[in-house]
């Protein structure tokens, strides 16, 4: 035994036996949490990047369908690319209301409506809608056309010749033209006060 050394007792063995060995369970839990958080953060970052790129592509397609101005398309795309969701809200407020296709369809509808109104024939007296083969207006009885006495084609009242059979209409009195009403006071016309024979 060395000088000054304390003799080893039995209690020393119990103290050494009771000293807990360092455990690695706490470190393993922290490592697992770090791995899970890393995966979640990676997915979030990937989602945000994909979402950001998708917004930029959608904005570019949307502004192309609404405007043909190249500068406007570039500015709208840069607005969303720089300011992300805030830029998207600003773009939604400032973008044109209608797409080019909607404007074109509306123009076609207006042109067709205008053409229909132009082609529609109306009565000169009551402005009711009439067809091209009407001789009189069904609403007010205004004479619209007269038939040709030779070919019986409908003619305008102002025409002096029939364009279909070349008949001179000025030589034919109106009473002899089929479909023309007999005017009061003309020869052969019954008087308004004259009564027919009674049986």
The H or E element spanning position 154 is strand 154-156
Helix ranges (DSSP H) in 95-178: 100-119
Length of the chain: 199
What is d(CA 89, CA 182) in angstroms, rounded to the nearest whole number?
A: 76
Residue 136: strand pairing partners: 143
* Global pTM value: 0.48
Using an 8 Å Cβ cutoff, are 100 and 66 in contact? yes
Using an 8 Å Cβ cutoff, are 179 and 147 in contact? yes
pLDDT in tens, 90-132: 999 999 999 999 999 999 999 888 877 666 677 878 878 787 7
pLDDT in tens, 39-98: 999 999 999 999 999 999 999 999 999 999 999 999 999 999 999 999 999 999 999 999
The distance from CA 194 to its chain's CA centroid, rounded to whole angstroms, is 67
What is d(CA 40, CA 195) in angstroms, rounded to the nearest whole number?
A: 107
């Amino acid at each position: 035994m060395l000088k000054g050394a304390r003799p080893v007792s039995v209690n020393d063995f119990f103290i050494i036996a009771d000293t807990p060995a360092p455990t690695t369970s706490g470190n393993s839990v922290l490592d697992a949490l770090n791995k899970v958080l890393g995966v979640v953060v990676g997915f979030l970052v990937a989602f945000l990047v994909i979402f950001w790129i998708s917004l930029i592509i959608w904005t570019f397609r949307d502004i192309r369908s609404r405007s043909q101005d190249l500068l406007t398309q570039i500015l709208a795309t840069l607005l969303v690319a720089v300011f992300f969701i805030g830029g998207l809200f600003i773009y939604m407020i400032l973008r044109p209301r209608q797409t080019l296709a909607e404007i074109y369809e509306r123009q076609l509808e207006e042109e067709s409506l205008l053409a229909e109104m132009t082609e529609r024939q109306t009565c000169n007296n009551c402005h009711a809608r009439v067809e091209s083969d009407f001789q009189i207006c069904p609403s007010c009885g205004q004479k619209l056309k007269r038939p040709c006495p030779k070919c019986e084609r409908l003619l305008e009242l102002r025409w002096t010749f029939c364009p279909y059979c070349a008949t001179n209409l000025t030589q034919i009195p109106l009473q002899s033209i089929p479909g023309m009403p007999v005017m009061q006071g003309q020869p052969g016309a019954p008087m308004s006060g004259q009564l027919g024979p009674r049986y």
